[in-house]
Amino acid sequence: MASFSSSSVPLIKLSFVVCFFLTAYAGNFYQDFDLTWGDGRANILSNGQLLTLSLDKASGSGFQSKNEYLFGKIDMQLKLVPGNSAGTVTAYYLSSKGATWDEIDFEFLGNLSSDPYILHTNVFSQGKGNREQQFYLWFDPTADFHTYSILWNPRHIIFSVDGTPIREFKNLESNGVPFPKNQPMRIYSSLWNADDWATRGGLVKTDWSKAPFTASYRNFNAEACVWTNGASSCSSSNSSSSSSSKNNSWLSQELDITGQQRLKWVQKNYMIYNYCTDTKRFPQGLPTECKMS
């Protein structure tokens, strides 16, 4: 089991973290999101600077972004359900619609008070997922807010936590691996009961005496291409000037050597499941992208 110690993470400056772009904006939840379900269990507070989702035995809750995006760096700070969160799932993800949808997932699987959360990640392209990687975190994600980021450009998808990359999914279309690049996606988040599978394969059930369960969100930020009426805010006509080209430089960013080292550190010390090593699950051979990494 991974121990929670912030001192185990040296301070690192990653090449893709500190940037300012024309399409960047710090969010206000009233302006940027709609509360979509939960019958009052989702709430925007503090003049739009804080959002909370709650779950009780009757229902969970959720929200979605007003905007659709086609590429971007999306940051959100979350503080997860504290205490005995077994059976609960807090999902935070990008997704398109339709039978061949694309999706980029963070899911936080609750656990008993003495056990760590599991951070579950997945990437769907053209309706196909089955690309799960799971991690413990090197801190208690219920004690304070932490930043969970998705960098999505035409070449890479990079998941990061507090600026430290934990997963990279590369564009390997040239090798026959579909990559999310044509379907605009919204941001979604929800808190819901999944005690049929979330904790120890469903062996540990939700303790409703601890309800309501609450997760909190703040400091949403999007450096992104907003998709409106079939056009991107990062279209070539908007990026012809040198200033716009500089502002949209994240569209071609990738991990530098330090970022690659941090990624390997996380995967060595905190990864607890990797579909790319699960030979029993793929008896006919591992997926193509696993052989290319």
Q: Which element (helix H / strand E) includes 158?
A: strand 156-161
How far is residue 56's CA from residue 38's CA, in Å, rounded to a whole number?
A: 10
The length of the chain in residues reads: 293
Q: What is the DSSP letter of 80?
A: P
Strand-pair partners of 61: 191
Contact 254, 16 (CB under 8 A): yes
Strand-pair partners of 73: 151, 223
Give phi and psi for 234, each to the nearest 5: -105, 25
Residues involved in catalysis: 103, 107
Q: By CB neighbour count within 10 A (0-12 exposed, 13-18 middle, 19+ buried), where does 204 fall?
A: middle
Given 3-state DSSP classes, what are the helix, strand and coil percentages for the chain, each rounded to the nearest 5?
Answer: 20, 40, 45
